[in-house]
Amino acid sequence: MKRLKSCLPALVLICICANAFTDELRFTIIHTNDEHASIIPSLYSDYHSEYENPSAGGYARLAALVRHTREVKAASGEPVLVLSAGDFLGGTPFSWLTLEGEVPEIELMHRIGYDAAVIGNHEFDYGPDILASYFRQAGYPDAHARTALLLSNSVIPEGHPLNDIKLQDIYVKELENGLTVGIFGLIGKDAVQVAPYAEPVAFRSQEETAREMVSLLENAGADVIILLSHSGVDEDRELARLVPGIDVIIGGHCHTLLETPVREGKTIIVQAGSYLSHAGYLELAYHPTAGELRIANDEVSRPFVIPLGSSLAEDPEILFAVGEIIEKLNILAADMTRQQFTDISAVVAHSDFTVTNRPILQESPFGNFVTDAMRFIGEEVTGEPVHLAVQANGMLRGSIVPGSMPWSQGEVSFYDLASLVGLGSGPDGKAGYPLVSIYLTGTEIRRVLEVSLLLSELMGDTYFLQVSGIRTVYDPGRAVLLTVPFAGIPVPTTRAVLNASFYTGSGIQPAGEGSYRSLPRKDDTLYHVISDYYLIAFLPMVGELLPSLTIELKDRYGNPVTSREAPIIYQDGQELKLWEAVVEYAASLPRDSSGMPRIPPYYRETAGRLVEKQTIPLIIWPILALALLITGTVLLVRVVRRKRKRIQGTQQAASIRR
């Protein structure tokens, strides 16, 4: 009896806990973000649905996971939500179909059963007018009943066609088990900065909007409040600290694979990488009486992110729909390449290695490959020697990964290449940013290099420039002298570039010293530069804020370029696109014994074009000068005081003698 009495408290506790868990309302969220039109798995060369292969992603695999999860959870009456944190457009050539009036991404999301999605920065790649047409073609505003599109902090001008789509501020859904879930969506500060074509759409404060939406959802009776955030993990954590009441943040934008959720107070933050390589899987349990939400995943058997690899079967219905979309893209690719490539799976070149893209504020082999393509193809088409080609890391979407399976050993397909540099469009309304031919003075070229270091230091890797035709030694620590206290205003130095030298030889720049000519700080000579339509919109803007970094785009005669359209390069009467130059360059490489172009070993590693060197920080010199000034002042004061004492002593002695 005594033993039984001693066990009673534990038994009561077990019963209470069991009852608590019995009263819980459970639901599951499958979430994705930054899908970037990854309709088929990555590594097209390795993608054969009937074989095991290392390719990852694709909507058919995601659909199979969603269907299976819903079937399993239905047995226990547990609802399943499918959500996207934005950037489902922009990236692969499938997004090119948007400009042809097709809507493959959102149609597949409807078929898979996405409940809601937030609009990210890449949804605006073709401008808000095209985005409005895209959604209208997909059946909106009526289609909100299938997949709600959220952008709670958007400010759309009156009369703009995007108003007709009626993007949602909040979405409230009562689940089958009686739980009410409220969802809102935000685009973050960094995402807004890299969405230049969103104008005239503007965006409200994320914090103020979040407070307002949380209040609206609470008043609407939401038990659980979910934010679909296209902002990045750092901004998500900051918002969770500032705005109470957000239970879950499904994040995107920074392409982070969070293998376990991040906690910020009571807020659960998750993100599932990018390009549909993984799907996020979050099981949650809500206790109505306590009003508390907890994570219910078993991390061993039910991890927080599930790889969408070849071990997952593909949903037959979605696979058939994907096949139809591929056929449409094949027709478009054939038209855009003047029938050179009639199949996106066509092999362009071979490679024995991965041409890596390392987006960490440094030179990359893929950056060298792309800028070489711009320089050589630009020179060939314009007929003028090109001294420099520049491209921003934000435009480089990955690495060249050759096929690794027996049937695709070393193959690099048209789709693989075009997916890496296929963003945007030109004035012709066709997919891809066109190359531009401009002229700058040597002084301005050094300013371009300074702008690259300044912007990347302040705003991240997106603005770091890869180069061809020049060798630069730089110290990123010298880009900013100091930040003004309290105001948070950085003071640039324009002295981060220690040395810059033009390559004077022919062909690919050697990995060693090679033939170089130093570029002085003051040089009025005009040099031919190849860039792209997107980048030249940014370069002159810095000079508007910092006159010491003024850059004026010019033609070959030194006349100012009066419009962005004027310097566009045309080939056979069509805009020469960045992706087109990269594909042409790959196809022009020396052929191997099989007759196929092969990427040379040169691109296996970096080539010393951008050399980082640490020097004494510039802030040290004003500090030393101040220290010397203070020291000199102190010494001077001491000398003066001693002199005064000596004079006073002499005067006193004279007085005594008198």
496 versus 487: the higher-pLDDT residue is 496
Q: Which two tokens stand for residue 181?
A: 């879930």
- Residue (of 294, 291, 320, 260) closest to 108 by Cα position: 320
In the prediction, which pLDDT does 15 show?
A: 37
What's the average model confidence in pLDDT over 338-345?
93
As a whole number of angstroms, the distance between CA 406 and CA 487 comes to 60
In the prediction, which pLDDT does 103 show?
A: 97
Q: Each residue of 127-148: pLDDT tens digit?
A: 999 999 999 999 999 999 999 9
In the prediction, which pLDDT does 506 show?
A: 86
Q: Which two tokens stand for residue 569?
A: 């390069």
> Would you say residue 445 has pLDDT above 50?
yes
In the prediction, which pLDDT does 326 show?
A: 96
What's the average model confidence in pLDDT over 82-107?
96
In the prediction, which pLDDT does 7 show?
A: 43
In the prediction, which pLDDT does 483 show?
A: 61
Cβ burial of 498 (10 Å; 0-12, 13-18, 19+) is middle
In the prediction, which pLDDT does 566 show?
A: 92
What's the average model confidence in pLDDT over 105-119?
98
Q: Each residue of 528-567: pLDDT tens digit?
A: 999 999 998 878 877 777 788 889 999 999 999 989 899 9
488 versus 451: the higher-pLDDT residue is 451
What's the average model confidence in pLDDT over 234-261?
97
In the prediction, which pLDDT does 547 show?
A: 81
479 versus 73: the higher-pLDDT residue is 73
| 347, 589 Cβ separation under 8 angstroms | no
Tell me the domains of the chain and their CATH numbers: 20-318 (3.60.21.10), 346-612 (3.90.780.10)
Q: List, in sequence order, every residue forming a beta bridge with 24; answer none if it has no partner.
A: none
> Would you say residue 514 has pLDDT above 80?
no
In the prediction, which pLDDT does 618 show?
A: 55
| 388, 19 Cβ separation under 8 angstroms | no
Q: Each residue of 181-239: pLDDT tens digit?
A: 999 999 999 999 999 899 999 999 999 999 999 999 999 999 999 999 999 999 999 99
In the prediction, which pLDDT does 4 show?
A: 35
In the prediction, which pLDDT does 588 show?
A: 96
Q: Each residue of 310-326: pLDDT tens digit?
A: 888 899 999 999 999 99
Q: Which two tokens stand for residue 23?
A: 């009263």
Coil, strand or helix: which one is 396? coil
The maximal CA–CA distance of the chain, rounded, in angstroms, is 120
> Would you say residue 622 has pLDDT above 80?
no
In the prediction, which pLDDT does 65 show?
A: 97
Instruction: Reduce the secondary structure of 33-44 to three states and give it as a string.
Output: CCCCCCCCCCCH
Residue 531 CB partners (closer than 8 Å, separation 6+): 374, 389, 390, 391, 435, 436, 438, 539
> Would you say residue 12 has pLDDT above 90?
no
In the prediction, which pLDDT does 657 show?
A: 55
CA angle 163, 168, 174 (to 5 degrees): 150
**What is the pLDDT confidence band of residue 628, given thresholds at 50, 70 and 90?**
low
**What is the pLDDT confidence band of residue 18, given thresholds at 50, 70 and 90?**
very low
> Would you say residue 623 has pLDDT above 70?
no
> Would you say residue 78 has pLDDT above 60?
yes
What's the average model confidence in pLDDT over 577-601?
96
**What is the pLDDT confidence band of residue 48, given thresholds at 50, 70 and 90?**
very low
What's the average model confidence in pLDDT over 12-27?
58
Whole-number mean pLDDT of the chain?
A: 88
406 versus 27: the higher-pLDDT residue is 27
**What is the pLDDT confidence band of residue 347, given thresholds at 50, 70 and 90?**
very high
Q: Which two tokens stand for residue 412?
A: 């690099």
Query: Phi/psi of residue 311, each to 5°?
Result: -70, -20
Kindly report which listed range (385-394, 445-454, 456-465, 647-656) carries the lowest average pLDDT score.
647-656
Q: What is the dihedral of CA 71, 73, 77, 80, to 10 degrees?
A: -100
In the prediction, which pLDDT does 486 show?
A: 59
Omega before 141 within 30 of 0, i.e. cis: yes
Region for residue 550 given its phi and psi (left: phi exceeds 0; alpha: psi -120 to 50; beta: otherwise) = beta
